[in-house]
Amino acid sequence: MKLLCAIITLMLSLYCCLVYAANNSSVFQPWSDKVFIDIRERFGNEAEQRARHIHQLLLNNQEASTLKKLELTNDTLNYVPWIKDEELWKKADYWATPMETLVTYGGDCEDIAIGKYVMLKALDIPEDRLNIA
């Protein structure tokens, strides 16, 4: 089951990157401190620390190689605990936003895939470097 989840996550991540990159080419914009304050007030200090960590990773790796960006994204988001939607969101199926996945520190296959997609896009992975197998 974990292997199937990993394969689905990878394929969805790559597909989303390809579609998004085809339509949106932009440089990562640093987040306002208001974002972190809001996260802390709504979700607590640990959620704020996770958000600041991801933000710093994005800022520090804008010029990294594509391979390093892919490895960083996988290494970072593969540590997010896998939690069923029924348990986390009290719904049979819920596609969380990347920020929801980050602040709740949990998600299922598509939540992690969406998070990877957004992180790779924020790291400016070029369209011509993305493939779907």
Q: What is the pLDDT of residues 19-59, one digit of tens each?
A: 444 445 457 888 899 999 999 999 999 999 999 999 999 99
Q: What is the pLDDT of residues 5-22, one digit of tens each?
A: 444 444 444 444 434 444
Q: Where do the domains of the chain lie? A: 2-129
User: Which of the pair, 15 or 107, is modelled with greater confidence?
Assistant: 107
CATH class as words, domain 2-129: alpha beta
> How would you write the chain as a 3-class SS string?
CHHHHHHHHHHHHHHHHHHHHHHCCCCCCCCCHHHHHHHHHHHCHHHHHHHHHHHHHHHHCCCCCHHHHHHHHHHHHCCCCECCHHHHCCCCCCCCCHHHHHHHCCECHHHHHHHHHHHHHHCCCCHHHCCCC
Q: What is the pLDDT of residues 53-94, one digit of tens each?
A: 999 999 999 999 989 999 999 999 999 999 999 999 999 999
pLDDT of residue 115: 86
